[in-house]
Amino acid sequence: MIGWTCFFFAPLGYFLRRFLVYLRTAYTRKRRLIRAIVVEMVFGACGGGASLKMLLYEILVHCAFLGVRFVSLSVLLPTSFFLFFFFFFRSRNLILRLREIHWGVGRELEASTVLLAYKVNLGERLSCGL
């Protein structure tokens, strides 16, 4: 009887442990992605209207591919417009400080999110004609 119990519960415990590790990893990735989205919105809001539109598009596509649902329109659009109008009238020192924060947080994130930041920066340079 004990042999059958161990035979039944040993794989069940293994799969339960693997499932809990998966949930913890998914939660950490989602939290990092949301933090990256907020940083990207603040950093992109300093660039101008065209880069902000491209930034929103990139973030929505990025969220769709990673399976983050319903973070998008209800929170993302009002926050980004508020940040755009708020930071548009700020000084150059604040923009430089945001860039420092952006790259400091970017070092901690996953490679895909950092690639998103590079795409946004490249798009801003191309839209400005530099």
pLDDT digits (tens, 9 = 90+) for 58-105: 555 555 555 544 444 555 555 555 555 555 555 455 555 555 555 554
The answer to whether 28 and 104 are in contact (CB under 8 A) is no
User: CA end-to-end span of the chain, whole Å?
Assistant: 75
* Helix/strand/coil (H/E/C) assignment for every residue in the chain: CHHHHHHHHHHHHHHHHHHHHHHHHHHHHHHHHHHHHHHHHHHHHCCCHHHHHHHHHHHHHHHHHHCCCCCHHHHHHHHHHHHHHHHHCCCHHHHHHHHHHHHHHHCCCCHHHHHHHHHHHHHHHHHHCC
pLDDT digits (tens, 9 = 90+) for 3-27: 555 556 666 666 767 776 776 776 6
Structure tokens at 47: 């660039």
Q: What's the pLDDT at 25?
A: 72
How many C-beta atoms surround the C-beta of residue 43 within 10 A? 25
pTM, rounded to two decimals: 0.27
Amino acid identity of residue 34, one-letter, is: I
